[in-house]
Structure 1
């Protein structure tokens, strides 16, 4: 993730409160998510801004070429007060649990959100890893799971159980992995596989399998690597997203 593209989120985000309603067509196993009406309101404001400003978007200027699903964060200051009176109640800017962002800026410019509730666990995990690196001058790596991505040595980090975060999609827990710099990544393999089954979906050969989550849910799979489906249709982590990829 090159110099921690999510640093702007992790350095100062407190434990945030849950809010919102169920995803559309949700099953018993799907987790509560953001209020779709608030996302729709932001989408309307973004679309009108884009029309008035001749295809410009109300986004922060990306720094250090962050990963795709953390790249185009909405700057609500550009939308207020002409297009919105204030940011949505569930937005980070209003003390909520979600960072609003845009995907596919060249075409649809669709509004999605990053679920910030997982950042507490990510931050705590990275603090342990950083402390270990500071003391030992190398990362507490157990084994490689993909190019540049590793399973952490839990014994060295004094974990009794594998560190996880709550999935923003299902009632599941997602493992945390690390890269060579000791930065955390969320493993979405479980959720990708479940979304493929729940929505009877497919992913084209060579396509990043995270797209199944983006297509069917308002939350993007942030803080993660890239995935492909193997010959058995199972999601496999393929590595970190390179700058400019996707």
Structure 2
């Protein structure tokens, strides 16, 4: 009898701990699965067909970077009956991923942004903002290429040059600043890995960031454009 009693107490504690564990934390380490992506993709395709080519997206400024620009508006998909529930991995439902559309003029593919990248970028941008307010300039350090710079991390009271964990490979990717003072993520490590390990037909002049979305469900948020030279990823000159 005591064993049954203790088992009941254990199950109650287990149930309560599951209830108290935040949805965002439960979803934090889980990528959207194929079924979730396929469901949203189907809803987007149907919406596009019904609305004569319009997409269910939130309005963003024209200058918004391409991989952050076309965020899916789940409200519109639900209002039209094309989607009954928002994926649990979506930010709108407590998850860690922003669902977006890439290649809106053609395939309108559904991908996701890992919002932990957004948190890291915004944290650094906040430090930059406060520094610039007090010093009237951006603490650039070295030029990587024209228009892309490292930061003097010591002036920002950081212990080391700022990095973020790659959602693709787990590598630490550098955070830089462009000529407009925006924080960007340098994905060259990831791109180099994908160029070597996957079959592709990208040529010099092509935007090879799409290699990452060809092979995964993740979009390279906060990235400058890259192309390929001598088999290596490089910043696009006109976009750096």
Q: TM-score range by the shorter chain?
A: 0.7 to 0.9
Q: 2-side partners of 1:218 and 1:171: how far apart? A: 15
Q: CA RMSD in A?
A: 2.0
Cα deviation digits, residues 97-136 of structure 1 (max 9, x gap): 1111111112111111111111222122112211221111
Runs of 5+ in structure 2 lacking a partner?
1-23
Number of aligned residue pairs: 216
**TM-aligned CA deviation for residue 202 of structure 1:** 4.3
Q: 2-side partners of 1:17 and 1:93: how far apart? A: 14
**TM-aligned CA deviation for residue 227 of structure 1:** 0.8
> Which one has more relative contact order, counting CA pairs under 8 Å at least 6 apart?
1
1:19 paired with 2:17, answer no
Q: 2-side partners of 1:71 and 1:194: how far apart? A: 26
Q: 2-side partners of 1:217 and 1:229: how far apart? A: 19
Call closer, same or farther: CA 1:107–1:170 in 2, change over 3 Å.
same
Q: Structure 1 residues 81-90 or 183-192, which shifts more?
A: 81-90
Q: Secondary structure at the match of 2:116?
A: helix
**TM-aligned CA deviation for residue 236 of structure 1:** 1.3
Contact 1:202 1:212 in 2 (8 A): no
**TM-aligned CA deviation for residue 18 of structure 1:** 6.2
Aligned to 1:196: 195
TM-score, normalisation: structure 1: 0.81
1:57-206 alignment, distance < 5 Å: 57-81=55-79, 82-206=81-205
Q: Which has the larger radius of gyration?
A: 2
Choose from 35, 41, 44 the match for 1:43. Answer: 41
**TM-aligned CA deviation for residue 241 of structure 1:** 4.6
